[in-house]
Structure 1
Amino acid sequence: MAIEEWKEIENGDDDGNLETQLLMKREEGLEEDEEEEEEEVSSRRCNHMLYLSTSVAVCGSFQFGSCVGYSAPVEAAIREDLNLSLSQYSMFGSILTIGAMFGAITSGRIADYIGRKQAMRMSACFCILGWIAIFLSKESVLLDIGRLLTGYGIGVFSYVVPIFIAEIAPKNLRGGLTTLNQLLIVMGASVAFILGTVVTWRTLALTGLIPSFTLLVGLFFVPESPRWLAKVGEEKEFLSALQRLRGKNVNISAEAIEIQDYIETMRSLPKVKLVDLFQSIYVRPLMIGVGLMMFQQFGGINGIGFFASETFASAGPSAGKIGTIAYACIQVLTDYN
């Protein structure tokens, strides 16, 4: 660094004193270091509210995993208690994905219209109603309705939770915080697998209420997404939310201007329609992207997860619980890595 500075000075047109110029450059470097230190301090100050907001949001991710992992460990008990056939239980297990599909399709418009926090509240309410329906079920119809409701709730969660986290996080923490969404999904499924081996299926349904109620309560203490507030023109609320997330004494003017400039740029762009995706320039990347997702699902991972316990149990009476717990632990480890 020092050699480069001397070269710049020696090659420069200024005939002033070299020592003075070097001192000035060093002072500039110290000022830059001080600015970086201030940014780091500001980042630490904002972590309290930022981490609280993220922790509240990922309750939705945990709820997602709980719903996905519910059907595997309780299959034998539900079929015995409610006298369900294999096809009836298969419908119960798979109808979750149908609800999630509709939830995912509608999630974008819902989150843009009523806000990120309200969308998460709505999703939590769907999940609560679904879990209560499952808990009270005495036949397959109410069981399926409850499963469908939880599916719709997690379908909305699948979009709004990572979007909310990405919008509230500063650039230096955005990548790390958004990965918590996937980690908590897997943890939720794993906890459901493990709890399902030691509690009844009705009790397991009640435990599914915990993440949703935690989310509903936590949302009262965290701000709305500043980017969404800026997008809908709520200037005062936008600045207030950004200040809460970054810290009371942190200067947010530069970030606020950056967010507003980005939103103005997005507004100035021409609106894109669905049919525009099928233009010749987009056909190849569209086929690759959709194809990857299709092949991922055709791998049958959801089917394995929904019926893991009975799959292991078919290998022997003692393999059911051991296999389910091992599957739960491996899920978390592989996702973390």
Structure 2
Amino acid sequence: MESESSKLLCGSSSKVETTTPITFVLLLSTFAAACGSTSYGFAVGYSSPAEAGIMDDLGLSLANYSAFSSILTLGGAIGALISGRVESIGRRVTMWLLELCFIIGWLSIIFAKNIWWLNAGRLLMGIGAGLHCYVAPIYVAEITPKNIRGGSTAAVTFTVSCAFSVMFFAGNFFTWRKLAVIGAIPCFIHVVCIFFIPESPRWLVGVGLMLLVQFGGTDGISSFAGSIFKAAGCSTGFSSTMMAMIQLPFAPSSVLLMDNTGRRPLLMVTATGACLGSFLVGLGFLFQDYQQSKELTATLVFTGILVYSACFSAGMGGTPWVIMSEIFPINIKGQGGTLVTLANWFSSWIVTFSFNFIFQWSSAGVFFVFAIFCASIVFFVAKLVPETKGRTLEEIQASMTLLQ
């Protein structure tokens, strides 16, 4: 009887496992991984259909183009070399980083003026490919039930071949730059999907928060404040001085408010203020575009920059670092801190480098984008960031474990 019971129990358990439901999150997660494979396949398949166009337009020799084509594999070796270490930061963040490599790589090729741009972009894409080949199969294997695990993993790998074929086919109809634009499309889809698939909330609170803060425009504004004020018709010297002075009383207020109001309220309120400040600046430049009152533009831009600076000093700038220091457990605090710091500086570089180009394209648009990112911080914190005020590190770790 006991033996029969055991068999029945084993059979019942086995049946439950084989009928594990296929949820929307599972499908979305697999689709996200497939988008990563599509990025990889497009990168591999790009060099052949683009060869004639690139060599003619940029005057490359056969040796130059051979180096460009083959450097993808060198990047792949680099990506493979670091994949084990990078993967420890979490599957989602690793996928986000590899797509960042693909996106920057494609952009470098799209706007390439010489062989150096091409090689730099191709090398970055190779690094992304090396990371993808490691993390994608592991991620899919971890999230899928065992009865469909093999097929799901194989399907993601099969996507590489499909993407390779699509790139060859598209090469018959598009120039090499437009072909690169097509290659970048799945990268952006993947980046969006990553925000909706499951992963440890520790990394999302640390890295995601830091990225949103940086893309909120702080370094772009601080690095080019003089140019912004000048474009708005403000007195550069006076406005820059006021921008610096207003931060003096608000910076120490963050020290007082951090433990009194809590991390979450402080960050949400100051991010809302920064959003308002960015919106005012964007509105001022929008009026300028429509040739409205110059005084109105100058007033709005000046006021908006001061509001933004005050809010950033009062909490939006320092609070993410406090949260980061509290949410990572001891055993990964070094890795977590390294990753968040890297994300901070790298995203800062992106914003600082691209600001003038985007500002020339649309002076109002760039600040409306900053306002959107600042608003995103509010929703991000409300939904995902735990309150750490007045809690021991052990209590914080316990609450984070429940979220996973």
TM-score when normalising by structure 2: 0.48
* CA offsets 1:57-96 (integer angstroms, 9 cap, x no match): 1211111111000001111111111111111111111011
Q: Is this contact kept in 2: 1:131–1:208, CA < 8 A?
A: yes
User: Which residue pairs with 2:195 in the alignment?
Assistant: 220
Q: Is this contact kept in 1: 2:18–2:147, CA < 8 A?
A: no
Residue identity opposite 1:170 in structure 2: P
Other structure's SS at 1:73 match:
helix
1: CA distance between counterparts of 2:118 and 2:126?
Answer: 12
Q: Is this contact kept in 1: 2:30–2:156, CA < 8 A?
A: no
Displacement of 1:173: 2.0
Aligned residue among 62, 70, 73 for 1:86: 62
Residue identity opposite 1:127 in structure 2: F
* CA offsets 1:122-176 (integer angstroms, 9 cap, x no match): 1111110010010001211111111111111111111111111112122222211
1: CA distance between counterparts of 2:153 and 2:64?
Answer: 37
Aligned residue among 57, 61, 76 for 1:100: 76
Displacement of 1:212: 1.1
1: CA distance between counterparts of 2:165 and 2:398?
Answer: 42
Displacement of 1:48: 2.4
User: Which residue pairs with 1:192 in the alignment?
Assistant: 167
User: Which residue pairs with 1:133 in the alignment?
Assistant: 108
2: CA distance between counterparts of 1:194 and 1:53?
Answer: 28
Q: Structure 1 residues 40 and 82 mapped into 2: Cα distance closer, same or farther (>3 Å)?
A: same
Displacement of 1:209: 1.3
Q: Structure 1 residues 35 and 74 mapped into 2: Cα distance closer, same or farther (>3 Å)?
A: same
Q: Is residue 62 from structure 1 mapped to residue 38 from structure 2 by the alignment?
A: yes
User: Which residue pairs with 2:303 in the alignment?
Assistant: none
Instruction: Tell me the matched-pair count.
Output: 215
Q: Is this contact kept in 2: 1:69–1:190, CA < 8 A?
A: yes
Aligned residue among 171, 179, 187 for 2:154: 179
Alignment of 1:263-278 (within 5 A): none
Q: Is this contact kept in 2: 1:60–1:157, CA < 8 A?
A: yes
Other structure's SS at 1:119 match:
helix
Displacement of 1:34: 5.6
Q: Is residue 155 from structure 1 mapped to residue 133 from structure 2 by the alignment?
A: no
Other structure's SS at 2:49 match:
coil
2: CA distance between counterparts of 1:157 and 1:149?
Answer: 12
Q: Is this contact kept in 1: 2:71–2:119, CA < 8 A?
A: yes
Aligned residue among 140, 146, 152 for 1:165: 140
Displacement of 1:181: 2.7
Residue identity opposite 2:35 in structure 1: C
* CA offsets 1:252-272 (integer angstroms, 9 cap, x no match): xxxxxxxxxxxxxxxxxxxxx
Alignment of 1:1-337 (within 5 A): 37-41=15-19, 43-44=20-21, 46-112=22-88, 114-224=89-199, 240-241=403-404
Residue identity opposite 1:185 in structure 2: V
Larger Rg: 1
1: CA distance between counterparts of 2:399 and 2:31?
Answer: 25
Q: Is this contact kept in 2: 1:84–1:140, CA < 8 A?
A: yes
> Which segments of 5 or more consecutive residues in structure 1 lack a partner in the other structure?
1-20, 242-337
* CA offsets 1:203-224 (integer angstroms, 9 cap, x no match): 0101111111111100111101
2: CA distance between counterparts of 1:182 and 1:34?
Answer: 33
Q: Structure 1 residues 57 and 77 mapped into 2: Cα distance closer, same or farther (>3 Å)?
A: same
TM-score when normalising by structure 1: 0.57
2: CA distance between counterparts of 1:196 and 1:215?
Answer: 23
Q: Structure 1 residues 193 and 235 mapped into 2: Cα distance closer, same or farther (>3 Å)?
A: farther
Q: Structure 1 residues 54 and 225 mapped into 2: Cα distance closer, same or farther (>3 Å)?
A: farther
Q: Sequence identity of aligned pairs in percent?
A: 42
Residue identity opposite 2:73 in structure 1: T
Q: Structure 1 residues 54 and 232 mapped into 2: Cα distance closer, same or farther (>3 Å)?
A: farther
Q: Structure 1 residues 237 and 60 mapped into 2: Cα distance closer, same or farther (>3 Å)?
A: farther
1: CA distance between counterparts of 2:119 and 2:61?
Answer: 14
Displacement of 1:179: 0.9
Other structure's SS at 1:199 match:
coil
2: CA distance between counterparts of 1:189 and 1:89?
Answer: 19
2: CA distance between counterparts of 1:25 and 1:130?
Answer: 61
> Which segments of 5 or more consecutive residues in structure 2 lack a partner in the other structure?
204-327, 334-396
2: CA distance between counterparts of 1:225 and 1:176?
Answer: 25
Q: Structure 1 residues 152 and 193 mapped into 2: Cα distance closer, same or farther (>3 Å)?
A: same
Q: Is this contact kept in 2: 1:60–1:212, CA < 8 A?
A: yes
